[in-house]
Amino acid sequence: MKKFIHIDMDCFYAAVEMRDNPALREVPLAIGGKSRRGVISTSNYIARQYGVRSAMSNYKALQLCPHLVLVPGRMSVYKEASNQIREIFHQYTDLIEPLSLDEAYLDVTDAAHCSGSATLMAQEIRQKIYEKTGLTASAGVAPIKFIAKIASDENKPNGQCIITPDKVSNFLNELPLGKIPGVGKVTLERLAALQLKLGKDVLDKGEDWMVRTLSNFGYELYQKCAGNHIGKVHTERVRKSLSVEHTYEFDLNSEQECLDKFPGLLDELQRRLEKQNLASNISKLSVKVKFSDFVSTTADQTANSLCNQVYAELLKKAYTRGGYKGVRLLGVGVGIKLEKNDEAQLSFEC
């Protein structure tokens, strides 16, 4: 029987700022810079009571919470805290899959600590994180990987949730499908139209019906709801894409104004590709445009190297879709060509 722990820091960036500046502890706080066109990366729990959420524009956040305190991020400080947390993980296992600076999966199946109790290990890890960094973490423990991730959100902040093997079946039966990693808003709407809302709804339809109706996704969803997909911790994450984007203080009001911003974006993209030794692994080029009404669109084309002309053509295609509205965000990116062994690893990893 596998033993997975999912550790998720509580409002990580905001928590670091509150730790380092006690004056911020009792006020609604968000990380996102001071520009009205900035985007919230995270907020503390006080701000969340007003509806302030990550990926929300600063402008919208301030509408919801006029006395919101906005501070710019300090990525070097967050990375330092993340490294301290990672060191604690390694005291228990080397089977660690970081998802971001503030969350990771741990496979502690064969760990000898705490007489092999994943529950006690999760408690110890959270306590050590607090003692070393002054930050709180939440944890989920389960014999199935994706369930551990869901469980870590159940008792936030500063709590943990244990789904023991005997509770897995009931947990999955009553699980809202929107909580399963990989089931997004559009997919959830499609499932609801098929009268699929909980794990037991999927099981009632049966595997054959799910495959006929939803193809490979139907098969994967059925396996997860049936508790058959245990999952595996991947110690090396495989990058499938790389992009650079920027939100502008004022709208760009023509295609040419957008094109004028491309040199800086492409230079940054080129630097990041070279830094990660991915320049020879390009499989496609892509452009993202977000308009003044927050509607986004993307355009892409197969390619094996950066090409200014292709990016210009992709921009034209994406820009005209917006009916020539103002543009608030531009992004340029590439798809990354995977080796065959990487493709196998990515096929079903949650």
List beta partners, residue 320: none
Give the integer Cα–Cα distance in Å for 205 and 208: 8
Q: For this structure, is 103 an active site residue? A: yes
> Residue 206 and residue 201: Cα distance in Å, rounded?
9
Please name the amino acid found at residue 1: M
Terminal CA-CA length for the chain: 17
Amino acid sitting at position 193: A
The token pair at 212 is 């006929």
Cβ proximity of 233 and 93 under 8 Å: no
260 labeled binding residue:
no
Residue corresponding to tokens 């730790």: 19
CA dist list (Å): 189 to 177, 192, 197: 10, 5, 9
Q: Which is the catalytic residue, given 97, 103, 124, 257?
A: 103
Q: How far is CA 95 from the centre of its chain?
A: 20
Does 8 belong to an annotated binding site? yes
Annotated binding-site positions: 8, 102
Annotated binding-site positions for Mg(2+): 8, 102
Q: Which residues are catalytic?
A: 103
